[in-house]
Amino acid sequence: MTEKQIKEASVLTKAEDTNIRKQFRLLVENSPRLKKKADREMVEKAFNLAFLAHKDMRRRSGEPYICHPLAVARIVSEEIGLGALSISCSLLHDVVEDTDYTLEDIEHLFGEKMARIIDGLTKISGAFSEQSSSQAENFRKILLTLSDDMRVILIKLADRLHNMRTLDAMPTEKQLKIASETIYIYAPLAHRLGLYKIKTELEDLSMKYRHPEIYEEIANKIRLNEKRRIAEINRFSLPIIQKLEENNIRFDINGRPKSIYSIWKKMQTKNVSFEEVYDLIAIRIVFDPKPRVSEKAMCWMIYSLITDIYLPKPDRLRDWVSKPKENGYEALHATVMSHEGKWVEVQIRSRRMDEIAERGYAAHWKYKGINSQESGLDTWLKRIREMLDNPNKNALEFLDDFKLNLFSSEILVFTPKGHIKSLPKNASALDFAYEIHTEIGNHAIGAKVNHKLVPLSYKLSSGDQVEILTSDKQRPQVEWLQFVITAKAKVSIKNALKSEKNNRIKIGKEKLDRTLRALKITPNAYVFRKLMNAYETLTKDELYSKIGLGLIELNNIEAILKKKSQNKLVRYWSLQFLKSINKSSPKKKQEDSGTVGNKKKPILLRENLDKEDSEYVIANCCKPIPGDPVVGYLDNQLDTIIIHKANCPNIIRLASKHGDRIIPVRWTTHKVKSFLSRIKIQGIDRMGILNEITTIISKQLDVNIRSVNVDVLDGIFEATIDLYVHDTIHLNNLILKLAKIKGVDSVNREEYTGE
């Protein structure tokens, strides 16, 4: 059940009772298919039972519950064009599920056929109120068991349409769930069935609840531009109207309305503005066939008359008259050049073709007689069955088929509680985290997709169930920007990084200002130069930032300022500088600080907060981290220094050939930068062990996991975890802790040698 009714013992007011009976009268009167007395009697009997069964129930909106089945029955009759059996089933569709009446009662009162349809409708409702992760599988099963009667699906669509029309009464969370289901399952279903009008309405309503701001914005723009558009359509149509009237053709001509959803979809897929979509006009000509002239001949006659006025675009002619679309759509589409120099699509249809296009196959009966009314649907049903019976396809693939091309740019994933979230294709687990909440994104450390641990960069697919693991200590990382694609995630990460940096700088500046004031030192260029040298920073902001982070204690400022610069050992080598040393005489560069020039003195490997201006890169082959004995290799081509472990086979090989490019380096002691490292954990698989491992890694020791790979074979698991650590001490601590977990057999740092 998507709509839950509030049980109330309140008696219907006189006005309510009158209104309900009036609605029922309208249902019967407006249906062209309730001409037979027996049919009218069946519908009346169904109404009486439904009225009685739902007597004490009200909808969430407060109206008597019976109003809902009545409205569904009117949609089934007036908008889909079904007859007495379907109308009766619509009236009774919620009776078995929500009242004391049973399926046996229905069978007893109305016969087996009707009982089967009601049973199908009840089961569909049940399937969708369960855990949503099983929705796809359930949906498949239900279609498999029930699609032998088309009416079940058509009535379900009408039920959904009415629920969408009255969705305002639902709480927001439910609105989103129902609206997402609608766009995921029901709108494509309506499309497949050729119920274009219902499909369009479902799409628009779904969008209204899923993206209310965009919906309003586009609706407003349509209002503002409507007059101009109508004027243009009229200018274009006038010569056509004259010509067709001269030829005694009876017809209607209309500018084809564009739905809000379709405009939005086009704006996204084609990446164009509202105006570019909206300004493209299309018109539709619906004609009454002349006696003894075939519809097909009339279509081409009208085409011929129009192309006498406007020049056609030859490659844009679509003939669905000679060969209708698989869902039954028939029409002739042409594109012609208006006198204003714009391409205009013209759709030419007979009244009958138009009826099918708008209301689907069920509307066929009007023209072909009652018995053959649903014969065209057999093909559709047969294909659905083939798809369902194919054992090579799983339920999700099946749903993907349903989604058609309409949704190729969008994936739908489930939260652990079964709520559906829509994301653009290629979105990562981290995009999902930000989609849920900015704070969840900011503190995400990993994710479980379909209960398996995956890194935040994991690309999601439709149907995935995603759970985000968070840690209070986690902060947004620059690297994250490489694998998020939603604007929301990007903006949030950038903002968080920026505010964190600004905050550090602000705190650091205040702290330094305070300290200097206390020491009665006037901050000037000289003072800063001294401090920046002493604290190994290149810019003022970096200095503030490190102070803000607590990496620099300001307890020795006076000593630093007293020291003569000549005595200082700390110095920085810019790259250009290094290159020139290597290329030319070392003496040449001594003028600056007088301290440079001795190649044997090690370069300090500063740990930059900002990746961009790092002076060195960590070798990929051996991935040293602070604490490891290291050497630098000046790579002229890459224009940078590459840091290898001292015992790396690659650096040994390089040193033997280009000894002059080997540069002594050593780590500074600041713990700022994190280094990528890999550990391997082996042990006995048991429930929850992975969670314990990731908890220890992420929460207890403030380490970020980059990726996790787990293999389990015969109860033995082997996890390879790439993580960021500060140095060897840090990593060793972590390894010790992990080794203590029950079930863990060994924890080793993976050595990168050679490769």
The DSSP code sequence of 379-440 is HHHHHHHHHHH-TTS-HHHHHHHHHTGGGTTEEEEE-TTS-EEEEETT-BHHHHHHHH-HHH
**Closest distance to Mn ion from the beta carbon of 9 (Å):** 22
DSSP state letter for 683: E
Q: Which is nearer to Mn ion, 159 or 374 (CB)?
A: 159
Task: For Mn ion, give the closer residue by CB, 50 or 430.
Answer: 50
Length of the chain: 755
User: Closest distance between Mn ion and the C-beta of residue 186, in Å?
Assistant: 13
CB of 430 to Mn ion, least distance (A): 38
Residues ≥6 apart with Cβ < 8 Å to 239:
309
CA distance 367 to 32: 13
**Cβ proximity of 715 and 687 under 8 Å:** no
CB of 267 to Mn ion, least distance (A): 34
Q: Which of 1, 4, 44 is nearest to 25 (CA)?
A: 44
Smallest separation (angstroms) from Mn ion to the CB of 717:
48
Which residue among 39, 79, 94, 98 is the active-site one? 98
The residue number with the shortest CB distance to Mn ion is: 159
Least distance (Å) between residue 8 CB and Mn ion: 18
CB of 157 to Mn ion, least distance (A): 11
In which region does residue 451 sit, left (phi positive, over 0), alpha (psi from -120 to 50) or beta (all else)?
Answer: left
What letter represents residue 32's amino acid?
P
Phi, psi of 589 (to 5 degrees): -100, 20
Q: Which is nearer to Mn ion, 99 or 694 (CB)?
A: 99
Catalytic pick from 56, 97, 137, 702?
97
Q: Which is nearer to Mn ion, 149 or 159 (CB)?
A: 159
Nearer Cβ to Mn ion (170/581): 170
Q: How many other β-carbons are positioned within 10 Å of the β-carbon of residue 678?
A: 17
User: Shortest gap between Cβ of 31 and Mn ion (angstroms)?
Assistant: 20
Structure tokens at 744: 């863990």
* Chain Cα centroid distance, residue 602: 50
Cβ–Cβ < 8 Å for 466, 413: yes
Return phi, psi of residue 721, to 5°. Answer: -120, 125
97 or 232: CB nearest Mn ion: 97
Please indicate whether residue 63 is annotated as part of the active site.
Answer: no
- Give phi and psi for 677, each to the nearest 5: -145, 160
Token code pair at residue 94: 């919620």
Q: Which is nearer to Mn ion, 46 or 469 (CB)?
A: 46
Coil, helix or strand for 321?
Answer: coil
Distance CA 546, CA 552 (A): 6
Report the nearest approach of Mn ion to the CB of residue 159 (Å): 4
Cα Rg, the chain, nearest whole Å: 36
Q: How far apart are the first and last CA of the chain?
A: 58
Q: What residues does 39 pair with on adjacent strands?
A: none
Question: How far is Cα 632 from Cα 615, in angstroms, rounded to an integer?
Answer: 11
H-assigned helices in 550-701: 557-562, 575-583, 649-657, 689-695
CA dihedral over 263, 266, 268, 272, signed as positive or negative: negative
Residue 103 exposed, middle or buried by CB count within 10 Å (0-12, 13-18, 19+):
middle
Least Å from the CB of residue 72 to Mn ion: 6
Phi, psi of 591 (to 5 degrees): -65, -35
Q: Pull the structure tokens for residue 742.
A: 């029950």
Q: Which is nearer to Mn ion, 73 or 362 (CB)?
A: 73
Reading the block at residue 257, the tokens are 């309305």
Q: Would you say 162 or 258 has its CB closer to Mn ion?
A: 162
CB nearer to Mn ion: give 24 or 480. Answer: 24
Give kind and range of the element (H or E) at residue 357: helix 351-359
Interface positions with Mn ion (CB under 5 A):
94, 159
Q: How far apart, in whole angstroms, are the C-alpha atoms of residue 139 and residue 135? A: 6
Beta bridge partners of 731: none
Structure tokens given for 562: 């007293």
CA distance 179 to 420: 9
Give least dist CB 722 to Mn ion, A. Answer: 51
DSSP single-letter state for residue 12: P
Report the residue number, 116 or 645, with the smaller CB distance to Mn ion: 116
User: In whole angstroms, how close is the CB of 156 to Mn ion at the nearest point?
Assistant: 9
Smaller CB separation from Mn ion, 2 or 614: 2
Residue 176 CA to residue 178 CA, distance in Å, equals 5
For Mn ion, the closer of residues 94 and 435 by Cβ is 94
Element (H, E) at 466: strand 466-470
Residue position matching structure tokens 């006498």: 308
CB of 112 to Mn ion, least distance (A): 22
Catalytic, 319? Answer: no
Q: What is the DSSP string of 401-416?
A: HHHTGGGTTEEEEE-T
DSSP notation for 270-300: TT--HHHHHTS-EEEEEEPPPTTS-HHHHHH
Q: Using CA atoms, how far apart are residues 718 and 547, in angstroms rounded to an integer?
A: 41
Buried b (16+ CB within 10 A) or exposed e, 460-475: bbbbbbbbbbbbeebe
Residue 524 tokens read as 């000037």
**Residues designated as active site:** 97-98
